[in-house]
Structure 1
Amino acid sequence: MMQDAAASLYWCRVAHERLLPFRHTFNYRVFSLLLDIDRLPEIAANSRLLRHNRFGMVSFHDRDHGPRDGTALRPWVEAVLARDGLQEAGARIRIFCFPRLFGYVFNPLSVFFCYDAEERLRAVLYEVKNTFGDQHGYLIEVPLRNSGPTIEQSAEKRFHVSPFLPLAGQYRFRLLPPGEKIGIGITQLSSSGAVQLLATQTGRREALTDHSLLKALIRHPLMTVKVIAGIHWEALQLWRKGAAFFRWTAPPRDAVSTGRPAKTTE
C-alpha cells in the first residue's frame, strides 16, 4: 500500500525490447512524479520549483491528461470509473507521469491509480498517447480478492501507437503499485499470440521536495525532449532495419476501453 503522501518523485529506468520480426532494444533513465490529483494546488503552493497549470521549470498541467481541455481531472476519472461500476475506486486518485520541463512534455504512458476509502487499489487507468497527438485509455479493475503485491491485467489493443506495429493484438500488464518502488511491465502480443514487444518502467521513490526536483533537473534537464527525440530516433533505426510500416488508424470513439483483471502473485 502506498504511504500517505500527496506527491513523490521516482527515479526510473525505461526499457523496450522488440522481438518480432527482429530483435531491437533500448533503455534510458528518467524521473516521474506521483501526484494526488485532489491536492495539486497544495503541492505546487508548497514548492518553489513545481507549478500547476502555469509555466515553470517543472510543471503539471491538467490539459495534458484526461479530457485534455484544462478542466479538473477528478470529474473525468470519476465518470470513467462510474461507467464500469467502480465508483468506490474514486476515493483517492493518483497519477504517475512525466512532468513538463520548461513547458514541454510527451507522456507515452501515464497511469491513474484509483483507491477506495480504505486505501485499497481498486482500479488502474492506463493512459496511452502516440506521436500523432492521439490518446486512449484502458481501465482495469483490481478485484478485492487479489492480495498479492504484483497485479496482472490484460486488454485488447484498440489504439494505434507505433507505425511499426499492427493495431491488432493484446496487452498484458504486470504492475507493482507505487510504494518505495514501482514497476510497470507491458507485453504486447500479436493477434496470433506471439510476443512482439516487452516494455518496462521501474523506479524507486524519493520524497518530492525542492531539493529532489532540483537534483532531477540537474540530472535530466532535457528529459522530456529526450523522450520524444528518442522515440523518433528508434523509429529511424527500425525503418533502417526494414520494419514493416502500418498506416495510422483513427483512435476509437470511446476515450477509454475496459480491460480485464487477471490475478496477483506473491
Structure 2
Amino acid sequence: MQPPDAPVPQLCFGQVRHRRLRPRANAFAYASYYLRLPIRTLGAQGFGCKLVTRNRFNLLSFFDADHGNGERPLVEWIDALLESEGVHDADGEIWLQAMPRVLGFAFNPVSFWYCHQAGGALRAVLCDVRNTFGERHFYLLDNGAAIANGSELCARKVFHVSPFCRVEGGYRFRFLRAVRDDGEHTLACIDYDDADGLLLQTSLSGLATRLSDASAARAFFGFPLMTFGVVARIHLQALRLWLRRVPFHSKPAPPEQKVSR
C-alpha cells in the first residue's frame, strides 16, 4: 500500500503548438492530453480505474511494451540505460510522460522520461522520439548535475523525423513546472536550429489532474480518437508543406547508436 503522500498517476490536459519559420511560414495548435506516470512508485501496479488500464485493452490504456525496450520492466530498463550513460544519481522518482493508447492505438512522436534525484531535483531527461517510418531514437539530456527549472538543454540532431528538415543542427529543450492555485502546470519547449538558425518551435503544455475514471472519460469523449488524430495531423501538415513547395529531403538511414546527446 502506498503512503498517502506518494506520487499518483496523472492525466494532463493542454495544448500542442508548432511553428515553422521558413522557407514558408506555417503554424498550428491543437488541444491534447497525455499521461504522466510515476514509474518507480507504480512498479507493476495498475491504475485502479475502469476506463483506463495497464497492459489491457480499454478506452484508454497504457502498455509497458510500448516503452522502454519492450522486454525488461520499465524501472529496470531506464535505470540500466542511465547507468550505462554515466548517470548514477537519478535514484528518485521517474515520471514518464506519454500519450495513452486510445481504443488500442497509440503513436507518440515524443515521450519524456523525467529522471529525478532522491531529493526531488530533476537530474536527466530521456526523450523517446519516433517517426512515422517505425523508427525510434533516444536523446539523453544530461548536464552532469541537477537541472534547474526552465534551463536550456541541448542535443545534436541525428535522427530523421520530417522529410521537410535535413538531419543537421540541433535541438534546444526547456522543461518548466509550476504549481498554481488550479494545480500543477508543465511545459516542454523544443526549438530546432538547422545550419541557418532557428527553424522550428514546438511546445507541449498541460495541467495535471489525477488519473481517474472521470478524467479518462473527459479525455476519451472530449477528444475523440485523439491518437488517430495525431497521425492524421502529421500527414495533413506534410501535405500542406509539400503543396507550398517546401524542399523535400529523402530519409537517411537511422543512426547506429540508439542513444545520443
| TM-score normalized with structure 1 length | 0.89
Q: Hey, what does 1:103 align to over in structure 2?
A: 104
Q: Hey, what does 1:47 align to over in structure 2?
A: 49
Per-residue CA distance 1:136-189 (angstroms, 9 max, x = gap):
011112554654x31210000010000111011110011114750110111100
80 and 156 in structure 1: CA distance in 2 versus 1, 3 angstrom threshold: same
| TM-score normalized with structure 2 length | 0.91
Q: Does the 8 A contact of 1:40 with 1:52 survive in 2?
A: no
104 and 198 in structure 1: CA distance in 2 versus 1, 3 angstrom threshold: same
The yes-or-no answer on 1:237 pairing with 2:221 is no
Aligned-partner SS, 1:76:
helix
Q: Hey, what does 1:72 align to over in structure 2?
A: 73
Q: Does the 8 A contact of 1:121 with 1:142 survive in 2?
A: no
The yes-or-no answer on 1:10 pairing with 2:12 is yes
Q: Does the 8 A contact of 1:122 with 1:141 survive in 2?
A: yes
Q: Does the 8 A contact of 2:129 with 2:136 survive in 1?
A: yes
Counterpart CA distance in 2 for 1:128 and 1:144 is 23
Counterpart CA distance in 2 for 1:240 and 1:203 is 32
Q: CA deviation at 1:27?
A: 0.9
Runs of 4+ in 1 over 3 A off after TM superposition: 142-147
Counterpart CA distance in 1 for 2:252 and 2:8 is 38
Equivalences, count? 252
Aligned-partner SS, 2:154:
strand
Q: Hey, what does 2:228 align to over in structure 1?
A: 225
Q: Hey, what does 1:22 align to over in structure 2?
A: 24
Counterpart CA distance in 2 for 1:248 and 1:51 is 36
Q: Does the 8 A contact of 1:61 with 1:70 survive in 2?
A: no
Q: Does the 8 A contact of 1:81 with 1:90 survive in 2?
A: no
Percent identity, please. 36
Structure 2: any 5+ residue segments left out of the alignment? Answer: none
Counterpart CA distance in 2 for 1:206 and 1:142 is 30
Q: Does the 8 A contact of 2:18 with 2:27 survive in 1?
A: yes
Q: Hey, what does 2:129 align to over in structure 1?
A: 128
Counterpart CA distance in 2 for 1:236 and 1:63 is 31
Q: CA deviation at 1:101?
A: 0.6
Aligned-partner SS, 2:89:
helix
Counterpart CA distance in 2 for 1:142 and 1:176 is 16
The yes-or-no answer on 1:207 pairing with 2:210 is yes
Q: For the aligned residues, what is the CA RMSD?
A: 1.7
Q: Hey, what does 2:139 align to over in structure 1?
A: 138
Q: Describe how 1:50-199 pairs up with structure 2 within 5 A.
A: 50-67=52-69, 69-141=70-142, 143-144=144-145, 146-147=147-148, 149-177=149-177, 180-192=184-196, 194-199=197-202
Counterpart CA distance in 2 for 1:21 and 1:4 is 48
Letter in 1 for 2:161: V
Letter in 2 for 1:231: I
Per-residue CA distance 1:40-88 (angstroms, 9 max, x = gap):
64243x1111221221111111221221x34322222112211222121
Aligned-partner SS, 1:88:
coil
Per-residue CA distance 1:214-250 (angstroms, 9 max, x = gap):
1111101210000000000000000000011111122
Counterpart CA distance in 2 for 1:182 and 1:231 is 23
Counterpart CA distance in 1 for 2:146 and 2:239 is 45
Letter in 2 for 1:94: W
Counterpart CA distance in 1 for 2:223 and 2:77 is 31
Aligned-partner SS, 2:97:
strand
More displaced, 178-187 or 128-137? 178-187
Counterpart CA distance in 2 for 1:26 and 1:16 is 6
